[in-house]
Structures are given as C-alpha cells and as structure tokens.
C-alpha cells in the first residue's frame, strides 16, 4: 500500500532550515483531510510512516521533527516509542491548559523532549500559563489568523518573563509578514512564503491484523515463550521488516548482526517489542487494499522462507533460521517497490544473508535458488540443484507440500 507524509521546513533568521514539521497526508492531497480523519490515528500514521516506513533520516535529514500531539496521545505511552533527540512534541491548540497538562509537560521535559505550543493564543480564565511556560521551548503563532493585539500580548509576555522560549511565526505568506515577525522578536519561521509542504511517498507492507492479535496475546504473558513468539512474528512479513528496521535505528545495537527473528527479539527486548507491536496494531486497525499481485508476492516469500529452512534442517545446518530469513526477504524489493540495495542497507543482517539476497554467490545461494524454482515448479532447475543439496525426488515433493501448506495457512 502507498503511504504519504507531508513535511514543511522551519527556518531561522538567516533563512536556513533548522527543522521540519511532519504532517499527515493522504492520497497525494497536500492538505489535512477535514472529514473522516481521526487526529490520534493521524499522529500515529505520521510516526510510523516517518520512522519505520520511510526512515526519519531520509525525512528530516538529521534535523528535529515537530509532530502534533492530541491531548489523548500526550498522556499515552506513545512518547515512549520515539526519541527526544529526533522529535519536538507539538501540543495542539485544542488541548486544555490545566494543572494536569503542566505536570505531564514537566514529565516529558524530564525525558528530554522539547515542547512546542501550536497555534497559540492566551485564553481568559487559564491560571497556569506562567507555570507551563517554564517547560515550553517554542510557541507557534499563526500569522494568518491571529489578530495583532493577541500576537503582541504573547510576544510581550514571552520577552518580559520567559526569554528562553523561541517564538515561531507560522503561516507566513508574504515578505511583509516575515519582516513584521523579525521586528517582533520571532526567531523561527514557517509558511508558504518560504516553502509549501512537500509530500513524501513510500510503499508499506500491509499486515494481517489477526496475526497482530496473536502476537499481542503471546506478549501479554510476563515471560512469553521466545520460540513461539518468533514463530508467530515470522508469519507476519510486516512485523519482521519493521522489527529489523527498529533494531538498525537503535544506535546502541548497530554493531549487532541479526541472524534470525528470534535473535532480533532478544536484541530488541520484550518491552520494546511490545511497544512496537502495539503501535503497529493501532495503525493496522484499518482496511488495506490487497491486490492479487500483492498476495502472490507474500505467498511466494513465505513459501521460499519455509522451503529454505526445511532444506537447511535436512542438511543439518544449525543456523537454519538464517536460511528462513533469506527466503522471507528475497522479494522485499517487489513488496516495497524499492531497489533491494536501498532496503538492505537499513537491515542489521549478517554479511552472508545480505550478499545472498543481493545476488552474490554464497554457500546459501543454492538454497534460495532451489526455493525459487520449487515455488515455480521449474523442474529443470530443480533437477540441477537437487544433487547439490542432497535431495531425493520424494523429499522435494515433501518440501513443496509442507512449504505450500504453511504459506497458505498463514495467508488464510
């Protein structure tokens, strides 16, 4: 399925890009859909698409990302899934300014987050502004709709009592507005005068939500069986792919090379895995359009994975889980519609797995070639490779039946 994200640069006084605001977008429409879009779901989509589908390095090029948070998500565990070094939490204008919010913002600051107030105006009856402002890093003021007197009230309060807060002028559409903002003490700027939001598009792998529920049910145990957990995750290509991406993006684990989904689970840890699966399940509770071509690619990937694993076991390979991975990921470029080398460079896989999937001849290559031929029932290739792998004809039929049945059960 196609996924989209909007990004709009934020500039400093020298008109240099210092960060980006990430925006929910759908179907190439360069605006937030006004109807039928849940604000919580939109933020979750932005986070998943930015960090796990496209890659935050590609989206923001190392700059921090401003991301909108609803009141519900501010108080949810969602913040535990993101890095304070990469995300500025932007509190939406309809969030109630209460003592509870002040307490929560203080907690987020202690976690290392920077906090912005979006489309801000001072409201009558709110008594905790001074306390809240102690923990705020940015105040965004809408130059398109905020009356001049309201803007001056905010500017005077910040400059007189809270000089640590950076004022950000948003929806700046003319040179005149930009000059006024500079003169009024704003140091950050965003709007059509500089640049319209850009839309980024990528292909994500739709998931089987039933498989997510099965994985969640296993993760509910305090000490789940890692083998059962790994077996269930191996059935879901979407989770497997994002699990490997998440491990690669964790800076303290980049030296680790993954040789199996079980090892990936151990490296990530059950706590982080629970967060990943819950976050993905929240997003996957939608209907995805799955074409016949997509289903065929998934079936072929699963078939190849099980066939490679089975042949490796028959040849007494202790690292049979690596053979499963080469089959599982062998069609990931077709599923994501991206070059294989771009995908694999984000994967913390062993060198032999990477080389095999990339087409370099390795000890594992005949296993992958055999699984490909077996799925297509290419008998000439099967006859050529069977002696090399020590396989008799009846064994070949048995492998086909087991791999085909397993793939069919997973898909159905």
**Distance between CA atoms of 221 and 301, rounded to whole angstroms?**
30
Beta strand 2-12 pairing with 17-24: antiparallel
**Looking at residues 390-398, what average pLDDT do you find?**
91
Do 107 and 197 fall into the same domain?
A: yes
Domain boundary among 202, 224, 240: 202
Q: What is the pLDDT of residues 236-273, one digit of tens each?
A: 777 787 777 777 665 444 556 778 888 888 887 887 78
SS (H, E, C) 55-113: CHHHHHCCCCEEEEECHHHHCCHHHHHCCCCCEEEEECCCCCCCHHHHHHHHHHHHCCC
Residue 298 has pLDDT above 70, yes or no: yes
**Distance between CA atoms of 336 and 20, rounded to whole angstroms?**
25
Q: Residue 409: helix, strand or coil by DSSP?
A: helix
Residue 143 has pLDDT above 80, yes or no: yes
User: With bands split at pLDDT 50, 70 and 90, how would you rate the model's confidence at 34?
Assistant: very low
Do 271 and 299 fall into the same domain?
A: no
User: What integer pLDDT is reported at residue 287 of this predicted model?
Assistant: 41
Which residues are CB-contacts of 122 (< 8 A; sequence separation ≥ 6)?
Answer: 129, 150, 153, 154, 157
- Beta-bridge partner residues of 20: 9, 65
Give the pair of three-digit tokens for residue 275: 């967060």
Work out the mean pLDDT of the chain and round it to a whole number.
84
User: What integer pLDDT is reported at residue 286 of this predicted model?
Assistant: 44
Do 224 and 297 fall into the same domain?
A: no
Do 267 and 403 fall into the same domain?
A: no
Tell me which residue has tokens 């179907």.
Answer: 27
- Which of 32-46, 124-138, 224-238, 313-327 ranks highest by mean pLDDT? 124-138
Residue 282 has pLDDT above 80, yes or no: no
Do 31 and 93 fall into the same domain?
A: yes
**Looking at residues 106-123, what average pLDDT do you find?**
95
CA distances from 363 to 320, 321, 374, 385, 403 (A): 13, 15, 18, 13, 21
**Distance between CA atoms of 248 and 244, rounded to whole angstroms?**
6
Name the residue range of residue 260's domain.
Answer: 205-284
- Which of 24-38, 138-152, 264-278, 317-331 ranks highest by mean pLDDT? 138-152
Do 407 and 259 fall into the same domain?
A: no
Domain boundary among 221, 252, 284: 284
**Looking at residues 334-342, what average pLDDT do you find?**
80
Do 166 and 196 fall into the same domain?
A: yes
DSSP string, 356-401: HHTT---TTHHHHHHHHHHHHT-HHHHHHHTTTTT--HHHHHHHHH
Give the chain's domain count: 3
CA distances from 85 to 18, 132, 271 (A): 14, 21, 21
Do 9 and 129 fall into the same domain?
A: yes
Do 230 and 272 fall into the same domain?
A: yes
User: What integer pLDDT is reported at residue 245 of this predicted model?
Assistant: 73
Q: Is the pTM of this model over 0.75?
A: no
Give the pair of three-digit tokens for residue 1: 């399925």
Query: Which residue pairs from 355-358 have beta carbons closer than 8 angstroms and sit at least 24 positions apart in sequence?
Result: 356/326, 357/326, 357/329, 357/330
- CB burial of residue 225 (10 Å; 0-12, 13-18, 19+): exposed
**Looking at residues 291-318, what average pLDDT do you find?**
86
Percent of the chain having pLDDT more than 90?
Answer: 42
Do 215 and 96 fall into the same domain?
A: no
Do 235 and 352 fall into the same domain?
A: no
User: What integer pLDDT is reported at residue 409 of this predicted model?
Assistant: 77
Residue 368 has pLDDT above 90, yes or no: yes
CATH of the domain at 65: 3.20.20.450
User: With bands split at pLDDT 50, 70 and 90, how would you rate the model's confidence at 48?
Assistant: confident
Cβ–Cβ < 8 Å for 63, 20: yes
Cβ–Cβ < 8 Å for 191, 172: yes
User: What integer pLDDT is reported at residue 247 of this predicted model?
Assistant: 72
User: What integer pLDDT is reported at residue 54 of this predicted model?
Assistant: 77
Percent of the chain having pLDDT more than 70?
Answer: 86
Backbone phi, psi, residue 95, to 5°: -75, 130
Domain boundary among 176, 202, 228: 202
User: What integer pLDDT is reported at residue 397 of this predicted model?
Assistant: 92
Do 120 and 230 fall into the same domain?
A: no
User: What integer pLDDT is reported at residue 278 of this predicted model?
Assistant: 66
């Amino acid at each position: 399925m196609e996924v989209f994200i909007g990004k709009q640069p934020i500039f400093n006084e020298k008109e240099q890009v210092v960060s980006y605001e990430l925006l929910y977008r759908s179907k190439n429409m360069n605006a937030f859909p006004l109807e039928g879009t849940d604000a919580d779901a939109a933020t979750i989509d932005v986070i998943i698409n930015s960090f796990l589908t496209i890659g935050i390095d590609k989206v923001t090029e190392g700059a921090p990302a401003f991301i909108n948070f609803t009141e519900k998500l501010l108080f949810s565990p969602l913040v535990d899934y993101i890095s304070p070094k990469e995300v500025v939490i932007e509190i939406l204008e309809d969030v109630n300014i209460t003592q509870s919010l002040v307490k929560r913002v203080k907690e987020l600051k202690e976690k290392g987050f920077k906090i912005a107030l979006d489309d801000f105006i001072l409201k009558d009856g709110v008594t905790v502004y001074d306390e809240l402002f102690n923990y705020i890093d940015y105040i965004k003021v809408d130059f398109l709709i905020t009356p001049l007197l309201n803007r001056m009230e905010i500017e005077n309060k910040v400059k007189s009592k809270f000089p640590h807060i950076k004022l950000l002028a948003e929806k700046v559409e003319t040179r005149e507005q930009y000059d006024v903002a500079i003169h009024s003490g704003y140091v950050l700027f965003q709007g059509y005068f500089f640049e319209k939001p850009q839309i980024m598009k990528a292909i994500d792998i739709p998931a089987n939500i039933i498989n997510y529920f099965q994985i969640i049910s296993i993760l509910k145990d305090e000490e789940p069986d890692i083998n059962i957990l790994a077996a269930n995750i191996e059935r879901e290509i979407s989770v497997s792919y994002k699990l490997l991406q998440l491990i690669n993006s964790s800076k303290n684990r980049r030296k680790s090379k993954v040789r199996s989904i079980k090892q990936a689970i151990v490296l990530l840890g059950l706590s982080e895995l629970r967060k990943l699966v819950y976050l993905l399940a929240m997003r996957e509770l939608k209907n995805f359009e799955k074409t016949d071509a997509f289903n065929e690619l998934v079936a072929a990937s699963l078939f190849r994975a099980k066939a490679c694993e089975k042949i490796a076991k028959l040849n007494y390979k202790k690292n049979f889980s690596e053979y499963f991975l080469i089959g599982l990921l062998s069609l990931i470029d077709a599923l994501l519609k991206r070059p294989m080398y771009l995908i694999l460079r984000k994967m913390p896989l062993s060198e032999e797995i990477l080389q095999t999937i990339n087409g370099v001849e390795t000890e594992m290559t005949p296993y992958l070639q055999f699984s490909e031929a077996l799925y297509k029932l290419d008998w000439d290739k099967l006859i050529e490779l069977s002696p090399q792998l020590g396989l008799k004809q009846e064994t070949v039929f048995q492998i086909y039946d087991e791999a085909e049945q397993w793939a069919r059960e997973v898909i159905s």
